[in-house]
Amino acid sequence: MSTVNQAFTVKEQAMKAQKASKLLAILSTEEKNAALNTIADRLEQEYAIILTANEVDLDAGRKQNFDDAFMDRLALTKERIFEFAQGLRDVANLEDPTGIVQSDWELENGIQVEQVTVPLGVIGMIYEARPNVTVDATGLALKSGNAVVLKGGSSAIASNKAIVDIMRTALEDTRIPVEAVQFIDSTDREATKQLFTMKQHIDVLIPRGGESLINTVVENATVPVLETGVGNCHLYIDKEANVDQAINIFINAKTDRPAVCNAVETLIVHKEWLDANQDTLVKAMLEHGIHAHADEYAHSLIPGADEATEEDWANEYLSRDVAVKTVEDVLEAIEHIEIYGTKHSEAIITENDKTANTFLKLIDAAALYHNASTRFTDGGAMGFGAEIGISTQKLHARGPMGLPALTTIKYIMKGTGQTR
């Protein structure tokens, strides 16, 4: 039994989602939470079905010789599926972001104005190989009263389809309409492109994945996009940096999870600090397998370093490689970040608050750190409970996007016959 029906066109699916979104928008918080908990239970009960489907994807992946990191993101276990379910229960426990009166006032003519949060409507989620996004995005969308149209990567299509099938079947026993969750069961790129311009039926597109996926969506979409993405993050070690803090934070930001967007890609270091702490830094880099691509000054001080090219400054390595740039002062560090940064997360290590404030004030980025690791730019770590992605744009939402990013507002204006 499959509730995912391939017989419908993408447009028909988007229209079904839109229709369902109107029913979903007026459900109570309790009704939405109950539905999320029902889905969570069902995913746990049916985990074996998901694992069987996942094997199909893994087999196909092995035949295509995908690399280990890719296969690791694709592979599911019973434990991971139970984590997905727990994630849904955690989202059920978060505050409902809709129906909140953000402000209210009375016009001089007596009209009562309320600015109230409401769901966006239909969210188009376009993502790559991680099947967890299928569950996470659905949970966040439904909790915030939105329908969701899911278009996952082709390498995870069997796993995603099994997951969606279980979620939709579970919805039959809840107040949320089954059609509020749509899955584009196609590996055809044209199917994805149709989503890009369906402004009448889809309210926002959220691409999650590599730079190429995100750029394709941004360049082709007429539907508004919440851009997530690339983090070419910098750590600046000032001449007045505490040595232990600087080393610890650098190692953490570079090596804790090198493949994520909040990992540091370029170390900017004050020449005086480098001169004084060369040995400590080099030892730490060696111990943690970090390979440097260094400018001329640093190159002579870091054994085994490559010479940095222009490409290194812009590169998001997503590995244990790091570009190393030396500077004379904080302004030179800021200038470098303004040229090569992607406005994601930027950190300064210094004991001098004035220097820190210059950095925090002048740099334009989603998150700016003083004496802490860039790794905290994350919905979970920042206390948002869950995140649908990390926005690297400035409109609507910036940085980690929790439930409020999936809402908009409407003005309710109550009068007694007022005219203008």
Min dist CB 32 to its own copies, Å, is: 16
Choice between 319 and 393, CB closer to its own copies: 393
CA distance 55 to 29: 36
Choice between 84 and 340, CB closer to its own copies: 340
Choice between 306 and 332, CB closer to its own copies: 332
* 101 phi, psi to nearest 5 deg: -80, 105
Min dist CB 419 to its own copies, Å, is: 4
The conformational region for residue 318 under phi > 0 = left, psi -120 to 50 = alpha, else beta, is left
Whole-number Cα distances in Å, 277 to 146, 224, 235, 251, 269: 53, 48, 16, 15, 11
- Give the sheet arrangement for strand 306-307, strand by strand: 306-307, 291-294, 321-327, 264-270, 233-237, 345-349
End-to-end CA distance of the chain: 59
Choice between 289 and 415, CB closer to its own copies: 415
Query: Binding residues for its own copies, per CB under 8 A?
Result: 22, 25-26, 105, 107, 111, 113, 118, 120-121, 203-204, 218-219, 222, 224-226, 242, 244-245, 248-249, 251-253, 256, 338, 360-362, 364-373, 375-377, 381-383, 393-396, 398-399, 408-420
Min dist CB 44 to its own copies, Å, is: 28
Min dist CB 103 to its own copies, Å, is: 11
Q: What angle do CA 391, 393, 394 make, to 5 degrees?
A: 115
Choice between 187 and 197, CB closer to its own copies: 197
CA distance 235 to 377: 14
Choice between 189 and 394, CB closer to its own copies: 394
3-state secondary structure of 322: strand
Min dist CB 403 to its own copies, Å, is: 15
Choice between 36 and 226, CB closer to its own copies: 226
Residue type, 151: K
Contact 368, 394 (CB under 8 A): no
Min dist CB 10 to its own copies, Å, is: 19
On the CB side of 111, how many CA atoms lie within 13 Å of its CA?
Answer: 14
Min dist CB 341 to its own copies, Å, is: 12
Strand partners, 126: 151, 207
Min dist CB 377 to its own copies, Å, is: 8
Choice between 26 and 69, CB closer to its own copies: 26
Contact 109, 414 (CB under 8 A): no
Choice between 126 and 166, CB closer to its own copies: 126
Min dist CB 232 to its own copies, Å, is: 14
3-state secondary structure of 127: strand
Per DSSP bridges, beta strands 291-294 and 204-208 are unpaired
CA distance 134 to 126: 10
Helix (H) or strand (E) holding 117: strand 112-119
CA distance 350 to 270: 11
Choice between 162 and 267, CB closer to its own copies: 267
Sequence-distant (≥ 6) Cβ neighbours of residue 139 within 8 angstroms: 36, 39, 87, 88, 91, 92, 386
Place of tokens 């309320």: 114
Min dist CB 393 to its own copies, Å, is: 6
